Structure 1
């Protein structure tokens, strides 16, 4: 089982630069709305061996609701990597908590940074 962390906890860890936040959603989801500083590694092409070792970097996963990020944790463990944390509720919970996002303006295609 992955270790669930709240969006508020993840936000604090990001602010402290204590984690590498990995978004395992697909590119079109990431383009529509994302967390500032999150790295995109879609689950559809996810390779746990592309991640830095857990003793060097604390990796945290997130997705839309928490299901795919839990799958990423499982794939890491199957590969022998100790990346076992993810954000409970995914970006939906992040948005519900009122935390900042980066989105695209559908009218102009411009980036909107909601900090």
Structure 2
């Protein structure tokens, strides 16, 4: 298997969201999780909480521990397997893999923003200077 095969498998049967669908999902209570690095967020800007209520920044290296409702290291927002999670990265590649990992943990409603923050910006949606709600 190649990384392209893995990526394709992670996206199979999953409805990935457009930027506008991500905004709508957040307004319906979805947890939007930005996994971009600090440097990427500094260059591209933070996702605006006024459009994405409750948007969080969680480092990709601890994502599963923070969102698994059975984990001792979970965040308070990780309330159960029915939680809708939208993972966001810079271009929509690592977010697809991360969402697949969350689904493997039982978060069946996990998906990602297709095209990442680059698609967000291309859609003309704003970013802000910060601060972000960073969860370590």
- Report the TM-score range of the alignment, normalised by the length of the smaller protein: 0.7 to 0.9
- Structure 1, residues 62-96: CA drift from partner, whole Å, max 9, x if none? 11011111111121122222233111000000000
The partner residue of 1:52 within 79, 89, 99 is 79
**Match in the other structure for 1:78:** 104
Structure having the higher strand fraction is 1
| Coordinate RMSD, CA, aligned | 2.1
**Match in the other structure for 1:43:** 60
**Match in the other structure for 1:20:** 31
Contact 1:76–1:82, Cα closer than 8 Å, also in 2: yes
Structure 1 unmatched ranges of 5 or more? 105-110
Tell me the distance in 2 between the aligned counterparts of 1:83 and 1:13.
Answer: 11
Inter-CA distance 83–27: structure 2 relative to 1 (3 Å threshold): farther
Tell me the distance in 1 between the aligned counterparts of 2:119 and 2:87.
Answer: 14
Tell me the distance in 2 between the aligned counterparts of 1:26 and 1:77.
Answer: 22
Structure 2 unmatched ranges of 5 or more? 1-10, 50-54, 69-73, 132-136
Tell me the distance in 1 between the aligned counterparts of 2:106 and 2:61.
Answer: 20
**Number of equivalenced pairs:** 103
> TM-score by structure 1 length?
0.75
The partner residue of 2:126 within 94, 100, 104 is 100
> TM-score by structure 2 length?
0.65
Counterpart secondary structure, 1:21: strand
TM superposition shift of 1:43: 1.1
